[in-house]
Amino acid sequence: MATQTSSKQRLETAAALAPAIELRGINKHFGAVHANRDIDLIVRRGTVHGIVGENGAGKSTLMSILYGFYTADSGEILVNGKPQTITDSRHALALGIGMVHQHFMLVENFSVLENVVLGAEDSPLLAKTLSHARAQLKRLATDYGLEVDPDAIIEDLSVGQQQRVEILKALYRGAEILILDEPTGVLTPAEADHLFRILRTLRDEGKTILLITHKLREIMAITDEVSVMRQGAMVKTLVTAETSPPELAEAMVGRRVLLRVEKGPAAPGKVMLEVQNLVVTDDFGIPRVKDVSFSVRAGEIVGIAGVSGNGQSELLEAISGMRDQLLGTVMLNGEPLSLRGDDGAHRARLAGLAHVPEDRQRMGLVTVFQEWENSILGYHHEYGKGPGLDIAKAKAEAKERIAKFDIRPANSDLKTANFSGGNQQKIVLAREMEGNPDVLIVGQPTRGVDIGAIEFIHNQIIKMRDAGKAILLVSVELDEIRSLSDRILVLFDGHIVGEADPATADEGELGLLMAGVTKDGHAPDAGPGTVPAHETLIEKNLTQMSPQDNKDKSGLDE
């Protein structure tokens, strides 16, 4: 109740001031697509204002107009009560508007300090600029809890730390209005909680936050007001304390949305996927999956829970043939899979295993390809016609999948880069699910996906389970793991540290396991003074490798 009162007081105070942002009658077309339709929006100063809507509803387009990436076809923008024509992002920054994009705009081999000053140098002497920026970063870190080592290299930072750098960049340039586009889409729950603490501090210091997200729980937790967009139009704006997730979901989609997964009990059959004593190293030769064994049966969903960075990515990549395993065996339908080598993923597909990767843009799609080309990616051998491709067949099937999976816009000739993140995810899911695999492994199935699409994707996964498919699911969304899985395995530091029944396991129990604490209150180990057997085997295998093999495995020079 105290939170609601505080929010009410903020809104009453902000109402007496000129809005930080006011949009009047904003329209934007991209050819025949009317992306924004007569948008009116008021964002009050010193508040967190959420904007929600389905993928393709026009949220990002509207924010890109506000940040100067696009120019509206018609309409008016007022910043702090004054009409403005925002020509580019520099102009937006000069007006105090900063933006943190869903996909970060950082130079990975630059330091934090270099990224912050890049394009904002205030002296011809770089040393003077860096010295000034270092002092400013120290102040911002103290004021807003944005701690990050200014000398750290971007590629060595976690995703959450990289996001802090993006926020620091905006604040260093004097942003009073901060736009965040799907800021938690790539964050762990702990990183998301820390981000919200930062946003509350920024708001309490008088900053204005525009938060674009599809996660209704986040909207309810952090925002003061929320605006709903649907099909390019602004449907309504609500005081967050006076609305609810079901009301917001219905406004977003235009119909009632089921916010929970409905599924009957599983009917597990024979073992379809079996992993035995799997050991996998990362690009630097460091073991990330450590002596992991488990099985998945036909007609069941096994969920892998864990904080990002505990071996989930390497596990999925090894099972799908995208990464060589150091030790262990992967069995599909009772037969060992030969996954080593450059064509391991192709052999896995031929054996009946489909894979939805965690990162759709880096591993699931070629974004410069057209939609129909991506819809056959990895399966193009099935569309052979003489020396070339049966393009007519590929396009016809792509159109069928677009209709079945409600991919928007419904244009198979459009470059995949021009689809929203959620619709890109549907393209990957349609391709892998419609191939009728025996085993489906899915990494982060609803990352960056709106509420209506989440409901659809969850239903499709349940349908595959009920059709007798074996499904291995990895997600950092604990609610998703609990609601979809028939069994939950918890991965910590490359080990499976426990198994839980989703019907009885609570968040506290799973959270402790995800932190590496077992039911007896201790982190798993091999006992004092001993070396786990798998570590001895790893050391033996790495020692026996040639120097060139070690170089290839580690990515480092000898």
For the question of whether the overall pTM of this predicted structure is more than 0.75, the answer is no
Instruction: Give the 3-state secondary structure of residue 481.
Output: helix
What is the model's pLDDT at position 125? 66
How would you classify residue 328: left for phi > 0, otherwise alpha for psi between -120 and 50, otherwise beta? left
Q: How far is CA 55 from the centre of its chain?
A: 14
Nearest-angstrom CA–CA distance, 475 and 467: 22
Percentage of the chain lying above the pLDDT 90 cut: 51
Average pLDDT, integer, range 453-476: 92
Confidence of residue 530 (pLDDT cuts 50, 70, 90): very low
Average pLDDT, integer, range 422-445: 93
| Percent helix / strand / coil, the chain, rounded to 5 | 40, 25, 40
Percentage of the chain lying above the pLDDT 70 cut: 89
CATH 3.40.50.720 at 2-96+176-252, yes or no: no
Of 93-102, 214-223, 290-299, 548-557, where does mean pLDDT reach its minimum? 548-557
Sign of CA dihedral 469, 454, 254, 55: negative
Confidence of residue 402 (pLDDT cuts 50, 70, 90): very high
pLDDT at residue 92 is higher than 70: yes
pLDDT at residue 101 is higher than 70: yes
What dihedral angle (degrees, nearest 10) is formed by the CA atoms of 316, 318, 319, 325? -140
Domain boundaries, the chain: 2-96+176-252, 110-174, 271-352+437-547, 364-419+427-434
Structure tokens that stand for 450 in this block: 């709106």
C-beta of residue 156 within 8 angstroms of C-beta of residue 309: no
Nearest-angstrom CA–CA distance, 310 and 289: 8
> Rounded to whole angstroms, what are the CA distances from 239 to 51, 236, 255, 333?
12, 10, 21, 54
Whether 2-96+176-252 and 271-352+437-547 share one fold: the answer is yes
How would you classify residue 152: left for phi > 0, otherwise alpha for psi between -120 and 50, otherwise beta? beta
Nearest-angstrom CA–CA distance, 235 and 390: 44
Structure tokens that stand for 362 in this block: 């880096």
pLDDT at residue 3 is higher than 70: no
Instruction: Give the 3-state secondary structure of residue 106.
Output: coil
361 CB-near residues (< 8 Å, 6+ apart)? 103, 367, 424
What is the model's pLDDT at position 452? 75
Per-residue model confidence as pLDDT tens digits over 139-198: 888 888 888 898 999 888 877 788 888 888 888 888 899 999 888 766 666 777 888 888
Per-residue model confidence as pLDDT tens digits over 506-519: 777 887 888 788 76
**Residue whose pair of structure tokens reads 């992993």 in the numeric block:** 275
Average pLDDT, integer, range 277-293: 93
Per-residue model confidence as pLDDT tens digits over 299-311: 999 999 988 788 9
Confidence of residue 10 (pLDDT cuts 50, 70, 90): confident
Confidence of residue 412 (pLDDT cuts 50, 70, 90): very high
> Rounded to whole angstroms, what are the CA distances from 348 to 58, 276, 321, 368?
38, 17, 6, 26
State the DSSP string of 184-211. Answer: TTT--HHHHHHHHHHHHHHHHTT-EEEE
- What would be the CATH architecture of the domain defined by 271-352+437-547? 3-Layer(aba) Sandwich (3.40)
Query: E strand or H helix at 420, and its extent?
Result: none
Nearest-angstrom CA–CA distance, 274 and 294: 6
75 CB-near residues (< 8 Å, 6+ apart)? 23, 24, 25, 26, 27, 38, 39
Average pLDDT, integer, range 291-304: 97
Structure tokens that stand for 4 in this block: 């609601």
Residue 127 vs residue 314, higher pLDDT: 314
What is the model's pLDDT at position 185? 67
State the DSSP string of 529-556. Answer: T---HHHHHHHHHHHHS-HHHHHHHH-S
Task: Count Cβ atoms below 10 Å from residue 4 Cβ, excluding itself.
Answer: 12
pLDDT at residue 268 is higher than 90: yes
